[in-house]
Amino acid sequence: MGHHEIRVALNGSVTLGLTCNGNRLLGVGRVDVGGVALRDPSRPIRPLITTPDVYTYDEFRVLAVKKVGKRVIVKTQAVGRRNPRMDEGADHLWNRTIVTKALPETVEDELDWIFEPRTETVDGPDLALTLAKKPVRVEAGARSTFS
Classify residue 35 by burial, with Cβ atoms within 10 Å: 0-12, 13-18, 19+: exposed
Q: How far is CA 6 from the centre of its chain?
A: 14
Which of 48 and 44 is assigned the larger pLDDT? 44
Q: Is the pTM of this model over 0.85?
A: no
End-to-end, the C-alpha distance of the chain in Å comes to 31
Please report the pLDDT score of residue 13 as a whole number. Answer: 83
Query: DSSP class of residue 11?
Result: S
The residues, any chain, with a CB within 8 Å of residue 121's CB and separated by 6 or more, are: 128, 129, 130, 131
Give me the percent of the chain exceeding a pLDDT of 90.
29
